[in-house]
Structure 1
Amino acid sequence: MATSKRSKSKPAPRKGPFRAATAWLRRGGLKRISLLVLAGVLAFVLLFRFVAPPTTPYILAESRRLGGVDRTWVSMDRIAPVMARSAVAAEDANFCRHWGFDMAAIRSAIGAGSSRGASTISQQVVKNVYLWQGRSWPRKALEAILTPMIELTWSKRRILEIYLNVAEFDEGVFGVEAAARHYFRVSAADLSATQAARLAAVLPNPKGRDAAHPTPFVQQRANAAQSGAATIRADGRDACFRG
């Protein structure tokens, strides 16, 4: 009498770590990771809406290179209003009118075959506070993502306040308070219109420029900044950051 052989079911092969991770990602893991990353970035952006950035990647790098930097944080209430207007006039005259990107300036720069002059104060804050210096597509892509985020979650006054506190005004001199004392021996609150315009004239590339002893080029920029600051005040383009 023939006996039938009982077939034994083979155990399912174990998944290796790579295959298990791939399966998890396919089941929605990638979406969960993306949401977690986005939530983390948003939390980091919201943090500096209320807390002064203790440092930035560039300030850290310069501090290591130079053995220290000169920087003192001051609130917007302790910065002369003419300094805020001068910085806006020199760097981003339409600061109150755009959402992070000045499209008219970008189109003008493209038409001139250059990106120079198209970067807004909001973009510079993102670059200075969160990213690294230099030109690269990955940095520009991150800047394009983060700039609208700070525009949505910070006030314009806060954006300008942080800008004036992290901007470099001379080698190793960061922030308007340190710059005012470094060049003119006064506090940021006591800057005159001429002094404020000269500080604005060294932005955003201060190396090789001196606010206390301006070259004809820097003086020309200062004159334009001083005139622009008066115009911005007169036509109300300082409304979004005025105290």
Structure 2
Amino acid sequence: MTRVLAELWRFVALVVVSLLGLQLFFLARIALMAVVDPQSTAFQRSEAWRLIVEKNHIDWSQQWVPYERISPQLKRAVIASEDAGFAEHSGVEWEALEKAWERNLKAEERVARINAEMERRASRQSQHKPAAAAPSRPAARAQPKVVGGSTITQQLAKNLFLGSERSWARKGQEFAITFMLESLLGKQRILEIYLNSVEWGEGVFGAEAASRHYFHVGAGQLSPYAAARLAVMLPAPKRFEKRPGSAYVAGRAGTVMARMGAVELP
């Protein structure tokens, strides 16, 4: 029994040391980002690998530009669209997370009811089919539309270091990295890294590449409307890049423009 307990404590100690070592690794990487621009993010590397596997080549566009060469209009538009309290919060908007959690629970309950009704209908239809009839394909199950309450800092934490899987452990690590970013870098540097590394379409990363790809100007020359349109694309860039001038993007951009004047820049 004593030997089992000793082995258990040894295993627990190993897990704790490993977790502490991982946090120190993240801390050192973030501290380095205070003076060195990150060359890539975990999300970018996973996207590059996906493109190689699926298409056997990479169409990639990214060019780092310093904070002062990014249009203030784009900074305001992204904050207005993605994280209105960016300048004030400490990295996490707890109220926004709570609201997102409640909305996701309601969405899951609604989809569960829809799927249950679809299964009942399919069962009734199969009971009335002749025995010799070919079996019908199962209906595709509906999936809940998940909404997030993540801040710009949380999005950056996830893009820099983490995968896209959803779990409590990954979310906890996201919070830890978020607070490291806020403590070591400051708001202006966080926004600079975010705008230079975020995805704006397949293989299009950062404000400079997005500005040239969609509007044929540099990131410092964007008009308020162009900046608002880019900001609107951020939640689903691969979907919006197919129709960047759609009625939804244009209408949502108008809403973002109306909010930009009240945005406080770091």
Question: Same fold, TM exceeding 0.5?
Answer: yes
The answer to whether residue 67 in structure 2 is matched with residue 76 in structure 1 is yes
Alpha carbons of structure 1 residues 106 and 128: separation in structure 2 relative to 1, 3 Å: same
- Would the aligned equivalents of 2:229 and 2:249 in 1 still touch at CA under 8 Å? yes
Query: What secondary structure does 2:200 align onto?
Result: strand
- Would the aligned equivalents of 1:199 and 1:211 in 2 still touch at CA under 8 Å? no
Give unmatched runs, 5+ long, in structure 2.
Answer: 52-56, 106-145
Match of 2:233 among 174, 198, 202: 202
Tell me which of the two structures has the higher relative contact order, counting C-alpha pairs closer than 8 angstroms and 6 or more residues apart.
2
The answer to whether residue 77 in structure 2 is matched with residue 109 in structure 1 is no
Q: Take 1:47 and 1:211, find their aligned partners in 2: how far apart are those partners?
A: 37
Q: Deviations over 1:59-99 (max 9, x none)?
A: 12222333231111111111001100100000000001111
- Would the aligned equivalents of 1:164 and 1:176 in 2 still touch at CA under 8 Å? yes
**Identity between Structure 1 and Structure 2 (%):** 38
Give unmatched runs, 5+ long, in structure 1.
Answer: 1-17
Instruction: Please state how far the C-alpha of 1:175 moved relative to its aligned partner.
Output: 0.4
Residue 81 of structure 2 aligns to which amino acid in structure 1?
Answer: A
The answer to whether residue 45 in structure 2 is matched with residue 45 in structure 1 is no
Q: Take 2:205 and 2:67, find their aligned partners in 1: how far apart are those partners?
A: 15
The equivalent of 1:7 in structure 2 is none
Q: Deviations over 1:173-215 (max 9, x none)?
A: 0001000000011000111101100000101220120397421
Residue 93 of structure 1 aligns to which amino acid in structure 2?
Answer: A
Residue 44 of structure 2 aligns to which amino acid in structure 1?
Answer: I
- Would the aligned equivalents of 1:198 and 1:211 in 2 still touch at CA under 8 Å? no
- How many residue pairs end up in the alignment? 216
Alpha carbons of structure 1 residues 152 and 198: separation in structure 2 relative to 1, 3 Å: same
Residue 77 of structure 2 aligns to which amino acid in structure 1?
Answer: S
Q: Take 2:252 and 2:241, find their aligned partners in 1: how far apart are those partners?
A: 12
Instruction: Please state how far the C-alpha of 1:47 moved relative to its aligned partner.
Output: 1.3
Q: Quick check: which has more Rg, 1 or 2?
A: 1
- Would the aligned equivalents of 1:183 and 1:212 in 2 still touch at CA under 8 Å? no
TM-score, length-scaled by structure 1:
0.79
- Between 1:156-165 and 1:137-146, the stretch displaced more is 137-146
The 5 A counterparts of 1:83-102 are 83-102=74-93
